[in-house]
Amino acid sequence: MTNTRDKMIEKTCELLEAQGYHATGLNQILEESGTPKGSLYYYFPGGKEALAAEAITSMGQEVLERIETTLAATDTPGEAVRQFILRVAHHVRASEFRAGGPITTVALEAATTSERLNAACEEVYQAWQAAFEAKFMGSGLAPADAERLATLVIASLEGAIILSRTRRSTAPLEHAAESMARLISTYRLEE
């Protein structure tokens, strides 16, 4: 059974992904998670910002696990990235374009307004990037190339999610998946 703290984090994750930080109110989180108001400050003395930071970390870890699982299941780096992006496209479509990019909106909102949330988003992006870098280096790519390519994967993925949700079409994600696979295949492996 999920405890009160976990229910609050889970509901906050859903709301942040669907509507962002500023549009998500504490009363909405409490109501939709079915928790009493006193629970918020008991579990999160820092209030909404502390709860959101915890939710960002939680969402980031879930996505990281999906990234690592997908990358481990496919030997070829380009194909592994393609498969991951196509799985994201499936998730976005299944949510009727309400989900996808679990920290994107918060990252944009927090970049200049909240050091705590910005730091949580940055940690998540760094972890995701490190997973892609490790896959690329494990396949023989030079560290500098692996770093640049992993940054490009994250940037392309986030941008394609925004376009897919805006257009209500998975075409941008599908195009990104194919283009990234082709690009990655052109990189030279170290001898």
What does the pLDDT look like over 150-163, one tens digit per residue? 999 999 999 999 99
* Residue 124 counted as domain residue: yes
* Residue 34 counted as domain residue: no
pTM over 0.85: yes
Question: Could you tell me if residue 131 is left (phi over 0), alpha (psi between -120 and 50 degrees) or otherwise beta?
Answer: alpha
DSSP 23: T
* Residue 36 counted as domain residue: no
For 175-186, b/e burial (b = at least 16 CB within 10 A) is bbbeebbeebee
Contact 80, 70 (CB under 8 A): yes
DSSP, residue by residue, 53-103 = HHHHHHHHHHHHHHHHHHHHH-SSHHHHHHHHHHHHHHHHHHTTTS-S-TT
SS3 state at 99:
coil
Residue for token pair 């502390």: 50
Tell me the residue range of the domain where 83 lies. 53-185
pLDDT-derived band at 110 (thresholds 50, 70, 90) equals confident
Number of domains forming the structure of the chain: 1
Contact 28, 68 (CB under 8 A): no
Tell me what pLDDT residue 2 has: 64
The two three-digit tokens of residue 17, written as one number: 């992904």
CATH number, domain at 84? Answer: 1.10.357.10
- Alpha carbon distance 147, 124 (integer Å): 16
